[in-house]
């Protein structure tokens, strides 16, 4: 059995962890003052023994004066399977359409017809693809609102004029265009049917859909997902599961701070673990913190604290185990992403040298040279990856055409060739 006490001592000495704790006013935990039941659960987690839901919920009650002990466990697991390697992808963000039939209380992405272009035109997509390859990007991140063609006739008619019947059909067409230009699409369509996913697989090495939350309570009046038909957890779970049946490498995750409680947060992570245990296709889990913005319904809602983020990241790493990468968006955690690496994060997501984050436009991407400097100061090694992770870079998950293109970009580690 691996010792919790020795692990915590080693954690404080390695990679200057004590410095990062001090910088964020996090005290060094004392095992002698931590209750015995929590210690037992942490020892089980450290030794990779499955935890019950009740045991996981016990970890959510850890307070700031003991959180470094929890961090030492999740950091040990990150280091055991990922070493000191922290990954990211170099991408371009294309909001294919910002029309959406949902009315999420935290959203600034959506706009109405007349407030902007109905969709990103094929000419603009092609121009962006060419520009992004010149800048060395390998990922074309496609994001859209949810099924706007069901709500906006003007949008549907304009799509039909250029030969597409739906947002899904258009995103597939643009994915095929970009793949031929030498950049890999990573599509976030929203809810999708299995026939649509089969078509996406021909041009997308990976795709994504955030679970966001398993809580149906958040669909009720006054809650974050009220009047959002595409946010029903069962529908999102079905799309993620259907992707598993098709062996599509998948990115998912949860939003925290949108009104969920700790039980709902834990249950969301447990559900993602259940899906991945069945299909093995979830390549990463994103822990995305709510970021309030002027004009949204949740403008005055409290943001997740550092303690909230640390515990959510750590619990996600403990639950998801060795095969799933854990990510926090660096632009939403500009001052704390290094802290979260010590909580179990091994990926910093897509960073764009060309486009803003259209979902969080107030939060600029960090400059890559600054991010690399910050990472290296703590003896971590920042490596660029494709939108599909090295573990999924094989013909079980990729068709021959995509695999043959992808393999030319990487070295024998599966990460982008350096220099």
Residue 88 structure tokens: 């990211």
The arithmetic mean of pLDDT across residues 156-173, rounded, is 97
Strands 250-256 and 206-208: parallel
- Which stretch of 186-190, 344-348, 355-359 has the lowest confidence by average pLDDT? 355-359
Look at residue 356 in the predicted model and tell me its pLDDT. 45
Q: Render pLDDT for 91-146 as a digit per residue (tens, 0 to 9).
A: 998 999 999 999 999 988 888 999 999 999 999 999 999 999 988 999 999 999 99
Look at residue 35 in the predicted model and tell me its pLDDT. 96
Look at residue 403 in the predicted model and tell me its pLDDT. 98
335-341 LR contacts (CB < 8 Å, sep 24+):
336/24, 336/306, 336/309, 337/374, 338/20, 338/374, 338/375, 338/378, 339/20, 339/23, 339/24, 339/306, 339/310, 340/287, 340/309, 340/310, 340/313, 341/78, 341/86, 341/375, 341/378, 341/380
| The model's pTM | 0.95
Of 76, 13, 18, which is closest to residue 42 (Cα–Cα)? 76
CA distance 230 to 50: 32
Of 206, 231, 174, which is closest to residue 349 (Cα–Cα)? 206
CA distance 328 to 346: 9
Domains of the chain plus CATH, in order, are: 4-82 (no CATH), 85-406 (3.20.20.70)
Find out whether 343 and 314 touch, Cβ atoms under 8 Å: yes
Look at residue 291 in the predicted model and tell me its pLDDT. 84
The arithmetic mean of pLDDT across residues 253-263, rounded, is 97
Look at residue 371 in the predicted model and tell me its pLDDT. 85
Helices (H), 218-336: 233-245, 262-279, 306-320
Find out whether 243 and 277 touch, Cβ atoms under 8 Å: no
With pLDDT > 70 as the criterion, what percentage of the chain qualifies? 97
Would the pLDDT of 357 be above 70?
A: no
Would the pLDDT of 276 be above 70?
A: yes
How does the average pLDDT of the chain come out, rounded? 93
* Number of DSSP helices (H) and strands (E) in the chain, helices first: 15, 9
Would the pLDDT of 355 be above 90?
A: no
CA distance 303 to 82: 30
DSSP 8-class letter at 233:
H
CA distance 15 to 23: 14
Q: Render pLDDT for 302-317 as a digit per residue (tens, 0 to 9).
A: 899 999 999 999 999 9
Would the pLDDT of 205 be above 90?
A: yes
CA distance 380 to 338: 10
CA distance 41 to 47: 10
Look at residue 366 in the predicted model and tell me its pLDDT. 59
């Amino acid at each position: 059995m691996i010792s919790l006490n020795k692990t915590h001592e080693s954690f404080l000495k390695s990679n200057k962890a004590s410095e990062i704790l001090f910088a964020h006013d996090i005290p060094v935990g004392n095992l002698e003052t931590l209750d015995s039941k929590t210690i037992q659960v942490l020892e089980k987690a450290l030794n990779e023994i499955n935890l019950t839901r009740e045991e996981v919920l016990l970890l959510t009650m850890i307070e700031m004066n003991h959180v470094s002990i929890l961090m030492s466990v999740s950091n040990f697991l990150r280091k055991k399977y990922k070493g000191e390697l922290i990954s990211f992808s170099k991408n371009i963000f294309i909001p294919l359409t910002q029309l959406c039939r949902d009315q999420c209380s935290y959203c600034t992405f959506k706009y109405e017809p007349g407030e902007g272009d109905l969709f990103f035109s094929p000419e603009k997509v092609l121009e962006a693809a060419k520009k992004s390859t010149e800048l060395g990007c390998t990922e074309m991140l496609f994001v859209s609102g949810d099924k706007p063609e069901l709500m906006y006739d003007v949008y549907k008619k304009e799509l039909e004029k250029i030969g597409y019947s739906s947002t899904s059909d258009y995103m597939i067409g643009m994915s095929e265009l970009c793949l031929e230009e030498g950049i890999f699409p990573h599509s976030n369509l929203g809810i999708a049917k299995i026939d649509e996913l089969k078509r996406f697989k021909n041009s997308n090495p990976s795709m994504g859909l955030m679970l966001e939350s398993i809580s149906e309570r958040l669909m009720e009046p006054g809650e974050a997902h009220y009047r959002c038909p595409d946010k029903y957890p069962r529908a999102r779970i079905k799309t993620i599961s259907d992707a598993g049946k098709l062996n599509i490498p998948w990115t998912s995750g949860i939003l925290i701070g949108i009104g969920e409680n700790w039980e709902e947060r834990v249950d969301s992570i447990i559900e993602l673990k259940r899906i991945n245990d069945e299909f093995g296709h979830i390549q990463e889990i994103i822990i995305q913190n709510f970021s309030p913005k002027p004009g949204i319904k949740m403008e005055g809602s409290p943001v997740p604290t550092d303690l909230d983020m640390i515990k959510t990241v750590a619990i996600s790493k403990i639950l998801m185990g060795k095969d799933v990468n854990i990510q926090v968006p660096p632009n939403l955690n500009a001052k704390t992403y290094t802290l979260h690496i010590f909580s179990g994060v091994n990926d910093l997501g897509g960073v764009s040298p060309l486009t803003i984050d259209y979902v969080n436009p107030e939060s600029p991407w960090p400059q890559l040279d600054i991010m690399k400097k910050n990472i290296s100061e703590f003896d971590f090694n920042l490596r660029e990856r494709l939108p599909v992770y090295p573990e999924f870079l094989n013909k079980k998950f990729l068709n021959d055409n995509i695999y043959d293109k992808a393999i030319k970009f990487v070295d024998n580690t599966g990460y982008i060739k350096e220099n």
